[in-house]
Amino acid sequence: MNQSARTEPKILSFKKVKACLPARKKDAHKGDAGHTLLIGGDAGFSGAIRLASEAALRVGSGLVSVATRAEHAASITIARPELMCHGVSGRLDIKQLAKRCQVIAVGPGLGQSAWSNQLFEAALETNLPTVIDADALNLLSQQPRKNNHWVLTPHVGEAARLLNCTTAEIQQDRASAAEQLQEQYGGVVVLKGAGSLVFDGEEMFICNAGNPGMASGGMGDVLTGVIAGLIAQGLTLFEAAKLGVLVHAMAADYAAKQGERGLLASDLMAPLRELVNEN
């Protein structure tokens, strides 16, 4: 990184971004609210994909399918029976599941095994709007490409790998990092951290909500599910990223009223539901 940011970030406004999410019609049914497919949960990481998937439900996705390791499918279903969990082995399974969906999120607990890479590539081959997070970002850094139909959600370490630089360089000029990520990879970039940035190549927004209690495992997985669930309901990638980042941070602030230390990613589920229903 060797340039200064060209775009001045604007502060995200809840009133403005919430206006992108229309009220439900009185005769709405689950098919009207979209179908989200989430892919991840390699051995030992079923919690990540479960958190992301429940978050998609909590912000209003009508249906949510989960593609994960076969040994995890039953336990996730037991923990959250509203999720449709499928044990998958490779590309063909993903292609079949994707036929019924409007959006894909890939990465939570995905790992970097041969299985992980097959699922990642299969997700991209669908050409559906896609949210890329966690190990899917690490796989992308190994095989860089550009796509305008995805939302990338890196934290500083993942951003450094994507740009082949140090985390210190990212933190020195976060806005410039967001610009370079978008220029190199396309789509919408969410650079997570204190003052998360959302950039689509033209406008940049900064989130002034959130708190240090969010420095705990699973928070990023929840954000992935939130953004994907909003895209499923018809929001554009940029609208979903802006609203998703803000309600995620606001939900964490609400949950942190009992204390920042010990805040869990799952504590955000109830306030997320409340926020997306607020007028």
For the chain, what is the radius of gyration of the CA atoms? 17
Average pLDDT estimate for 192-217: 98
Q: Which helix (H) or strand (E) is 259 found in, with range? A: none
Q: Which helix (H) or strand (E) is 273 found in, with range? A: helix 269-276
pLDDT higher than 90, residue 137:
yes
pLDDT higher than 80, residue 3:
no
What does the pLDDT look like over 161-197, one tens digit per residue? 999 999 999 999 999 999 999 999 999 999 999 999 9
Structure tokens at 139: 């796989």
pLDDT higher than 70, residue 2:
no
Spatial CA neighbour of 106 closest among 59, 153, 144, 155 = 153
Tell me the residue type at 105: A
Please report the pLDDT score of residue 4 as a whole number.
78
The residue assigned the tokens 């989130």 is 207
Portion of the chain with pLDDT greater than 90, in percent: 93
pLDDT confidence bin for 120, thresholds 50/70/90: very high
Q: What share of the chain is helix, strand, coil (3-state, %, to 5)?
A: 50, 15, 40
Mean pLDDT for the chain? 96
Structure tokens at 19: 């206006």
What does the pLDDT look like over 98-113, one tens digit per residue? 999 999 999 999 999 9
Domain 10-21+32-276 = CATH 3.40.1190.20? yes
Average pLDDT estimate for 153-158: 98
pLDDT confidence bin for 1, thresholds 50/70/90: low
pTM for this one? Answer: 0.98
CA distance 240 to 261: 29
What does the pLDDT look like over 48-102, one tens digit per residue? 999 999 999 999 999 999 999 999 999 999 999 999 999 999 999 999 999 999 9
**Beta strands of the chain (E only): which ranges?**
10-11, 35-39, 63-68, 84-87, 103-106, 130-132, 150-152, 188-191, 197-199, 204-206
